Amino acid sequence: MSDHYVKVKVQLEQMKSSGEGVEKEEADIIEDEVLVASSPASVSPIQASGTPAAQRETPKTSVTCRNQSKSRSKLGKDEKNTCTKQDSVPALQGTIVASNANSGKPVNRKDNEQQMLQIKGTGKMLQGKTETNGNTVPIHLPEDIKVGPHNKEDANKVAKRRKPVTVDTFKAKTSLEALKLSIRQLKWKEFPVGRRSACDIYWHGVSFHDNDNIISGQVNKFPGMIEMLRKINLTRAVRTMQELFPEEYNFYPRSWILPEEYQLFSTQISLAKDSDLSQKPTFIIKPDGGSQGDGIYLIRDPGDLRVIAGSHTKQSVVQEYIHKPLLIDKLKFDIRLYVLVKSLEPLEIYIAKEGLSRFCTEPYQEPSQKNLSHVFMHLTNYSLNVQSGNFVHSDSLSSGSKRTFSSVLYRLASKGVDIKKVWSDIISLVIKTIIALVPELKVYYQADIPPGKPGPTCFQILGFDILLMKNLKPVLLEVNANPSMRIEHEQEVSPGVFEYVPSPVDEEVKVGVIRDTLRLMDPAQKKSLTSYPEHQQEEMLGSPVRGTGEEGRVLPSMCLKQVFPKYTKQFSYLRTVERITALFLRFLGVKGNMRLGPTGFRTFIRNCKLSNSHFSMATVDILYIDITRRWASMLPDSREAGMGLQAFVEAFFYLAQRRFKSLPLREQVVSLLEVCEAQLENQGRGDPGGALPEDSTASTRRSVSCGRTQTGRTQHPHHMSTSAPGQALSAPQLCSPATPRRASSQDYRLHQRLRPTHKGNVEN
Ligand code: ADP
């Protein structure tokens, strides 16, 4: 019986005795796959991870926000997914006077973001309800953690020799409290107002660009992550993958981008309703770049859209509403999971074993015209539900409106749910989502940190929002580039006076995530770990704190679990778009650029020997112009001219379809990749290579026109597969907009362009 199993058993026993309604124990839990945290909800908080608040050295004090009205816009606006969201952080009045974690001296911090807080001193912060919260805050290091496989003395010797790792926390914003606690636990050195010389780690609150002058060390944000995780871009990235791997990517609800796909959305809904009158789907409209439920609403008829196609309409995503979520105590809830992208190249992903479950505050009913506007029933956002009179702040980790995910899992396990399967589906969803994002992230990365130039490396904690359907299938709602790392919540202590008071649930989960992220990013750890086999590395990270100067102290075992490259074998076949990205980057030319010019595109075609007498360079130019223009109109705020990665991928798909007509899209694309890679490899070896044989099908100049491509498409079942019964999430079965998107681009428009009047646009 594994340690883990014993823990689960103990927890279940504890839950039983505490009246949690646990009836049955899940017997076949496998540690490797069930990532339940080692300090679960039902364990007493002190036992789980920490020192009671009173014993902490941290300058844990109250924050008084005077005259702050309890308006929705001011509550809990700490989760920022976009730069604009940064502005919605509550402007707290006062001055920060916090103790320096290392020296114990007060530090006056001039925060240039105008985030001015008044911290009133130690111990006295908690009043009324808050006192109880404060006393249960778990932060100490358990003494009974088993020591890892390494010699403790050796570890301590190394520890003595090493200088502490330095962390610049000047830009940490709302993560600051959790970050300070983590740094303290690790005995690292914090630089709260920055440092003249370089630090090992820079902790930014919003974006990679919070501080643009970093040329070494590691920054906790990737360039481009905020942009990529905006709702529209995430939808596009997943959709590209859905075209290639419809079944693998059916965890994302069918979505349409507004306003550009309004007509398509409208038509598809009408057709679906006409074909099956019993269908009454509901849709959720989410503004692009929105967060915390702002601007979200539900509709049952496309005519009820508040955004109608037009040039000045707000960009949004309209998404199939999952109308049968899993309920606990009749309430809808979602899961916030923290995921660390440790590196893009090679791709390394870790998932936190513990997460949060956020509950609605009004019992759930399936959507009807009457209840569509009941936000406390349909939206799980903390920032919304905290305003409901029914919101339950709880000191326990396994009750209330915000709980640990493990407490939910134990509850499900007690009812006989196969939580091992739930976890492995979630891991799979996370890995696949990141694989969808990596191509574009690589383009951003090389633009900001060109290879060969001095610059930092990056890592990032992401917040995955996941909904479990009634049938336990996880659905991706969104990914937050800046998940809230606050470990306090706001409380109104008297009319108009708010205080930040410790939130045990948040602290339990978030401090572990930050601390273990730091442990993984420890520069010395990274170097020494690479000499060990992968399976030993995790164990080592659970061993005594090395390199901290802290003798004999141990840290809890890692709450972050590596899932990639661990599961490379199962997922590497999905990394096709990354291979296309490698071609894109190769021909991009100027460092810092993110768009391919016409010459770069021609060079790509020439070097890969993709043109021939039936596919002339003139046609290539038309292809370039057509696709680039269309993408420029879809991305009106893009400042750079040229062909972006998404447009290049579209062109690549087109070329693949054209060349390998009778295969499914996925195989067409892989075949073309092999052609290109082989050609480039030959050239790398100095072999000029010959032109590849032309496609055996006789083509004419008009071969790129609508008719042919459509014919090709109808032969390939994958094109319909995103809407095939049983593959997508559930009824209603609607066609993914992806197929028509591509059909409308190259086919019709290229056909138009190939007319003689357009000759002036081409060169051969
Ligand atoms: P935001 O960034 O504004 O929080 P989300 O995409 O997370 O936007 O949506 C807000 C909430 O709406 C989610 O927490 C979830 O409760 C609900 N929600 C979002 N998308 C769906 C969906 N497709 N089906 C059902 N509920 C959804």
Q: Are residues 452 and 593 in the same domain?
A: no
Distance in Å, CA 325 to ligand 1 centroid: 12
**Structure confidence by residue, pLDDT tens digits, 104-139:** 333 333 333 333 223 222 222 222 232 222 222 222
Q: Is 293 near ligand 1, meaning CB less than 6 Å away?
A: yes
Q: For residue 439, tell me if it sits in a domain.
A: yes
* Three-state SS at 320: strand
Q: Does the Cβ of 218 fall within 6 Å of ligand 1?
A: no
Query: Is 428 inside any structural domain?
Result: yes
My answer on whether 442 and 520 are in the same domain is: yes
Where b means 16+ CB within 10 Å and e means fewer, 552-575 reads ebbbbbbbbbbbbebeeeebeebe
Our mutation pick for probing the ligand 1 site, out of 381, 433, 480, 734, counting the most ligand atoms within 8 A of Cβ, is 381
* Any domain includes 217: yes
User: Using a 6 Å cutoff on CB, does residue 379 contact ligand 1?
Assistant: yes
In the reported structure, the alpha carbon of residue 293 is separated from the centroid of ligand 1 by a whole-number distance in angstroms of 7
- Residue 402 C-beta-side C-alpha neighbours within 13 Å: 22
| For residue 696, pLDDT beyond 50 | no
741 C-alpha to ligand 1 centroid (Å):
25
**Shared domain check, 634 and 489:** no
| Side-chain-side CA neighbours of residue 587 (13 Å) | 25
Rounded to two decimals, what is the model's pTM?
0.74
Sign of CA dihedral 706, 648, 683, 660: negative
> Distance (Å, rounded) from C-alpha 212 to C-alpha 206?
13
What is the residue with the minimal CA distance to atom 2 of ligand 1? 291
Shortest-distance Cα residue to atom 20 of ligand 1? 477
Expressed in angstroms and rounded, the spacing between residue 634 Cα and the centre of ligand 1 is 24
Shared-domain flag, residues 222 and 344: yes
Last residue of a domain, one of 621, 651, 680: 680
590 and 648 both lie in a single domain:
yes
276: confidence class by pLDDT, cuts 50, 70, 90? confident
Domain span including residue 512: 1-14+163-251+340-348+413-462+479-540+555-571
Domain boundary among 631, 655, 680: 680
Task: Say if 143 falls within a structural domain.
Answer: no
Nearest-angstrom CA–CA distance, 352 and 35: 8
Domain count, the chain: 2
Instruction: From 367, 469, 357, select the one nearest 406 (Cα to Cα).
Output: 357
- The more confidently predicted of residues 28 and 484 is 484
DSSP codes of every residue in 58-108? S----BEETT----GGGSSTT--SSHHHHTTS----S--EEE-TTT--EEE
The most confident of the ranges 158-172, 505-519, 715-729 is 505-519
The pick from 283, 284, 359 for probing ligand 1's pocket by mutation, whose C-beta has the most ligand atoms within 8 angstroms, reads 284
Q: Is 296 in the pocket of ligand 1 (CB under 6 A)?
A: yes
Residue in 559, 554, 529 with CA at minimum distance from that of residue 543: 554
pLDDT single digits (tens) 613-639: 889 999 999 999 999 999 998 876 666
307-349 pLDDT per residue, tens: 554 545 689 999 999 999 999 999 999 999 999 999 999 999 9
Do residue 593 and residue 565 come from a single domain? no
Would you say the CB of residue 292 lies under 6 angstroms from ligand 1? yes
End position of a domain, from candidates 680, 711, 741: 680
Give the Å distance between the CA of 226 and the centre of ligand 1. 18
168 and 214 fall within a common domain: yes
> In terms of domains, do 420 and 528 share one?
yes
Q: Are residues 579 and 499 in the same domain?
A: no
Q: 666 in a domain, yes or no? A: yes
Å from CA of 288 to ligand 1 middle: 12
pLDDT score recorded for residue 298: 97
My answer on whether 593 and 628 are in the same domain is yes
Q: Which residue has the higher pLDDT, 493 or 601?
A: 601
The number of residues in the chain equals 764
pLDDT score at 635 = 77
- CB of 79 within 6 A of ligand 1: the answer is no
Per-residue confidence band for 158, with pLDDT thresholds at 50, 70 and 90:
low
What's the CATH code of the domain at 588? 1.10.238.10
Ligand 1 atom nearest the C-alpha of 360 is: 16
619 and 654 assigned to the same domain = yes
Decide if 133 is inside a domain: no
Ligand 1 contacts CB of residue 290 (under 6 A): yes
The answer to whether the CB of 291 is under 6 A from ligand 1 is yes
Q: Which atom of ligand 1 is nearest the CA belonging to 290?
A: 3
- Within a domain: residue 69? no
- Ligand 1 pocket, residue 359 CB under 6 Å: no
Inside any domain, residue 606: yes
Cα gap 411→405, rounded to integer Å: 10
Distance 379 CA to ligand 1 centre (A): 6
Q: Is residue 500 domain-shared with residue 625, that is, in the same domain?
A: no
